[in-house]
Structure 1
């Protein structure tokens, strides 16, 4: 498949690979402005990814050095990873929603061993077995700094304020706050007629919020310094409805491919999550389960035995996000006195 796709109207997408990841690539979008090219996301911090980004820009008749601004849909390393290199090469500003700027700030300020300790404690509370926590505890106690993707992300220069038109001369690009996948995820709405005349309300750069064939991970918003009980799945479902009402002519996501009929895709995702919540109650009915036990029984894209170590941690976080939603809706509750905590239907 070609690396660069021209979507018309001064919008192109570049396929930037994600190493060793089934998603394959991030679609970095290039937007022409009167001040020069701007990027929406940058891709994973990896030499192959950097080469793909620079070669893609060259194929578009520009270069990294000419980039004037970088808009980040959310802080994950397959979107924000190369932002520092782009800024270093071009002097471009980097913009992100304040909620994700806070994530970047605390990620930079906390030493890796604190993250290992925090994650080990979270997994213990979720009922993870000792063999799963052992690598985290060993890393915590090793005294050696470890390098993990996303532990030193670029600190943005600007914040993206929901509802505002962004500083892109000659374009009308408006920020829409769509929390769920991350607390500060934003979609970017290009309030211009579709270049091919498709019916609808402009075009939407949807990041990971709205994808054509997969559902984004919805896990917990992790913060060692904040014990607030969040409801990320509730945030996501509310955000989906907001995007559905917008009814853009075309959606340009950060993975897979462009698509139309956003309201239909939103309905599919809302139905999917309702079916999943109902299915989880069925799993909890015979006996209370910990989040880990629930994750073991949930339906994933492969059997639990084949899910690798890191993905199991992510799966448990997603199970907890669904449990929080059930508790908030009054459909499940934590069993008093259980340790690790178990949940049962109401």
Structure 2
């Protein structure tokens, strides 16, 4: 496929590969401004990804050295990973929402192995068997990616216009996938005269054929019972009301009918919550619940890392149902089990 896709109106996208990941690539957007190009996300910090990014910028008629700034939709390494290298090569600023900037600061400040220790403890508390947790305890401290993400220079203000000379790009705070995820609304006439209100860079919040992962907001020092799924559902409603003419997501491909996609995702999670309630006729730990939920393959075929993600998603659904008073923890259970109220 062509290394660059021109979406018109001074917006192009580059496919930056994600190593050993079924998603395949991150769509990095190059937005022309009066003072030089600005990137929306950067891709994974990997030599092949860096090569694809630099080659794509060359194909756009520019270079990394000319980048004015980087707007990061969220802190995950397939979006924020190369931001530091871009800044080193160009002096570009990096903008991130304060909630995800806090994640970056915690990650950088944590001692080696802190996140593996935290993950092992969280899985144990969720009822994971010892044979699943043991490899995490034995893993090297640097086994997880993205442990030294670039610190941002600027904080994205929800509802505010970003500093893109000659463009109108407004930040829409859409927590759920991460606490500081943002979508970016390009409040300009669509270059192909499509019906709707501008274009939306949707990051991982709104994808054409994938339901974004909604797990837990990971802060080892915060005991607040957050509700990421509730945040996500509220964020979906907010984005649906924007009615953009086109959505430019971070994975897969551009699409229209954002409101229709929002309705499908809301219906999916409503069905998911109903299914979880049906499983909780008796007490289940989050691990036991995840074993019984429907995934894209049988539980026995889900690899180790994906099981961690599945358990976090099960916990996110449990938290939301607890908040709705539809589910309650079983008193005295250890690890904690839940049952329908």
TM-score of the pair, normalised by structure 1: 0.97
* Pairing partner for 2:280 from 276, 279, 284: 284
**Number of the residue aligned with 2:51:** 51
**Number of the residue aligned with 1:149:** 145
Cα deviation, 1:128-163, whole Å, max 9, x if unaligned, reads 000111012223xxxx64252110100001000001
**Number of the residue aligned with 2:320:** 325
Q: Does structure 1 residue 79 correspond to structure 2 residue 74?
A: no
Q: Does structure 1 residue 213 correspond to structure 2 residue 245?
A: no
> Counterpart of 1:15 in 2: which secondary structure?
strand
**Deviation of 1:303 (Å):** 1.2
Q: Does structure 1 residue 308 correspond to structure 2 residue 279?
A: no
**Deviation of 1:3 (Å):** 2.1
**Number of the residue aligned with 1:41:** 41
> Counterpart of 2:218 in 1: which secondary structure?
coil
Alignment of 1:7-22 (within 5 A): 7-22=7-22
**Deviation of 1:112 (Å):** 2.7
CA distance in structure 1 between the aligned counterparts of 2:13 and 2:186, rounded to whole angstroms = 15
Q: Does structure 1 residue 137 correspond to structure 2 residue 137?
A: yes
For structure 2, list consecutive stretches of 5 or more residues without a partner in the other structure: none
Q: Does structure 1 residue 192 correspond to structure 2 residue 205?
A: no
CA distance in structure 2 between the aligned counterparts of 1:156 and 1:13, rounded to whole angstroms = 22
* Pairing partner for 2:268 from 272, 275, 279: 272
Relative distance call for 1:32 and 1:300 in structure 2 (3 A) is same
> Counterpart of 1:246 in 2: which secondary structure?
coil
CA distance in structure 2 between the aligned counterparts of 1:250 and 1:146, rounded to whole angstroms = 39
CA distance in structure 2 between the aligned counterparts of 1:146 and 1:238, rounded to whole angstroms = 35
**Number of the residue aligned with 2:198:** 202
Alignment of 1:246-257 (within 5 A): 246-257=242-253
CA distance in structure 1 between the aligned counterparts of 2:142 and 2:183, rounded to whole angstroms = 33
Q: Does structure 1 residue 161 correspond to structure 2 residue 157?
A: yes
CA distance in structure 2 between the aligned counterparts of 1:117 and 1:145, rounded to whole angstroms = 9
For structure 1, list consecutive stretches of 5 or more residues without a partner in the other structure: none
> Counterpart of 2:241 in 1: which secondary structure?
helix
> Counterpart of 1:112 in 2: which secondary structure?
coil
CA distance in structure 2 between the aligned counterparts of 1:332 and 1:107, rounded to whole angstroms = 32
Q: Does structure 1 residue 170 correspond to structure 2 residue 170?
A: no
Give aligned pairs, total.
Answer: 341
Q: Does structure 1 residue 108 correspond to structure 2 residue 108?
A: yes
**Number of the residue aligned with 2:254:** 258
CA distance in structure 2 between the aligned counterparts of 1:192 and 1:114, rounded to whole angstroms = 44
CA distance in structure 2 between the aligned counterparts of 1:70 and 1:12, rounded to whole angstroms = 14
The alignment yields a C-alpha RMSD, in angstroms, of 0.8
**Deviation of 1:208 (Å):** 0.2
Q: Contact between 2:3 and 2:59, CA under 8 Å: does it hold in 1?
A: no
CA distance in structure 2 between the aligned counterparts of 1:116 and 1:49, rounded to whole angstroms = 26
CA distance in structure 2 between the aligned counterparts of 1:145 and 1:137, rounded to whole angstroms = 9
TM-score of the pair, normalised by structure 2: 0.99
CA distance in structure 2 between the aligned counterparts of 1:76 and 1:313, rounded to whole angstroms = 16
CA distance in structure 2 between the aligned counterparts of 1:252 and 1:268, rounded to whole angstroms = 18
**Number of the residue aligned with 1:298:** 293
